[in-house]
Amino acid sequence: MGSVNVVIELILVLLISILVVFLSALLFVNSIEFLGSTYNIGGSFIGTILSPLFTSLPELIVLLVAIFGLGGTSGEAIGVGTIFGEPLMASSLSYGLVGLVALAGYYLKKRKSASLQVSTTLIVPFVFVTVLFPLALVPSLFAEVGVRIVFGIGFLCAYFVYVLLMYRRKSLGKVETTSPPYLCRIIPYERAGGFVQLIVSAVILYFAAREMVTVVSEVALGLGLSLMGISIIIVPAATAVPETASALIWCFRGKDTLSIASLVGEKVLYATLFPGLGMLLTTWVVDVHAYLSVFATTSVSLLMLFFVSRKKIPWYGLTFGLLFFLAYSIIVFWFKA
């Protein structure tokens, strides 16, 4: 009876955390849209650079806590698995949900089309993910520490190059004028209210997402699953909620470039910055789960790159990744590989 009560309590905490994340995502989207419009920052730059830096805080904390807090082989497995897991979640579950929301928004007459109209500026982040994410496996093939260090520094440099490229395009795809930040009902100055709301929403996103990770990890470990399997599918599924919620809101409102940019921008972090940190801070040991993640992420990214080059992503193209999510879930939960 006690174990049943514990499970019910964990589920309630998880549901409350998800609700809090979604509500804080509404605040986040409102504030970052307003600031982007006010300072003439394009939707591509907001989605691919600014938004991921805020919404990726939970994953960064999980990575650092796993490596330095848990430590040892187990800590490294969870940390490295998280790095390979988030791009898989974005490419499969998150994209799929965005596709379904686009379809629903069209039939509910909230959108003009079930297809997403996006800026070709997004070609840059998709190229970075497609090229660099598979290369993250290379250092694991060598025992020499020097190889990891060289690749780690190279991946960190790649992220700064990426930021520079996107910054030069920051005015493209200007965000339409949006409603004032919700906190302006309390704070009379709109710009100040926008910054305060952005910070407050990011903090709430962080704590709520961290609570989700804790609950999900407790449940998953109790099932006796592979540590890397857990960290690739369970932890990212929870920590990806902030950026996914933002992407869904933007998609439903017809702000397609922002929606896709927020997801691919997150993937770039995990194809450059975070792998670079992982290579420098761990022994960078991977298993079959990482290879499956790279295969799925790269396949979906190539498909998205094709659609983005045509400035139009059909809703069913986004749901293609759900097949990978289903297949990987079966491998992890059914076969417990």
Residues 63-85: pLDDT tens digits? 776 676 655 666 677 778 888 88
Distance CA 224, CA 80 (A): 19
Tokens representing 20 are 């809090």
Domain presence at residue 204: no
Lowest-confidence region among 60-64, 85-89, 134-138, 259-263: 60-64
Tokens representing 155 are 């991946």
* CATH code: domain of residue 228: 1.20.1420.30
Mean pLDDT for 295-303 is 94
Lowest-confidence region among 92-106, 182-196, 274-288: 182-196
Residue 289 vs residue 233, higher pLDDT: 289
pLDDT at 250 over 90: no
Residue 67: domain span: 43-176+209-334
Q: How confident is the model at residue 89 (pLDDT cuts 50, 70, 90)?
A: confident
Tokens representing 236 are 């990212």
Per-residue pLDDT at 12:
82
Domain presence at residue 325: yes
Per-residue pLDDT at 281:
87
**Cα atoms found within 13 Å of the Cα of residue 326, Cβ hemisphere only:** 6
pLDDT at 38 over 80: no
Mean pLDDT for 108-127 is 92
pLDDT at 166 over 90: no
Domain presence at residue 31: no
Closest CA to 318 of 47, 114, 25: 114
Per-residue pLDDT at 325:
85
Domain presence at residue 165: yes
Per-residue pLDDT at 4:
65
Q: What is the pTM of this model?
A: 0.79
Bridge partners of 221, per DSSP, are none
- Percent of the chain having pLDDT more than 70? 78
Please state the domain count of the chain.
1
Per-residue pLDDT at 53:
74
Domain presence at residue 28: no
Task: Residue 327: count other Cβ atoms within 10 Å of its Cβ.
Answer: 13
Tokens representing 3 are 């174990």
pLDDT at 168 over 70: yes
Q: How confident is the model at residue 98 (pLDDT cuts 50, 70, 90)?
A: very high
Per-residue pLDDT at 186:
79
Closest CA to 321 of 294, 293, 300: 300
Cα 84 to chain center, whole Å? 11
Considering 49-53, 226-230, 232-236, 276-280, the range whose residues carry the highest mean pLDDT is: 276-280
Per-residue pLDDT at 335:
62
Distance CA 82, CA 213 (A): 11
Q: Are 174 and 140 in contact (CB under 8 A)?
A: no
Q: How confident is the model at residue 178 (pLDDT cuts 50, 70, 90)?
A: low
pLDDT digit string (tens) for 179-230? 688 787 777 777 888 888 888 887 887 777 667 666 766 766 666 666 666 6
Average pLDDT, the chain: 82
Lowest-confidence region among 47-56, 84-93, 103-112, 158-167: 47-56
Mean pLDDT for 26-50 is 74
Domain presence at residue 302: yes
Domain presence at residue 37: no
Per-residue pLDDT at 39:
72
Q: Are 222 and 6 in contact (CB under 8 A)?
A: no
Domain presence at residue 27: no
Per-residue pLDDT at 311:
94
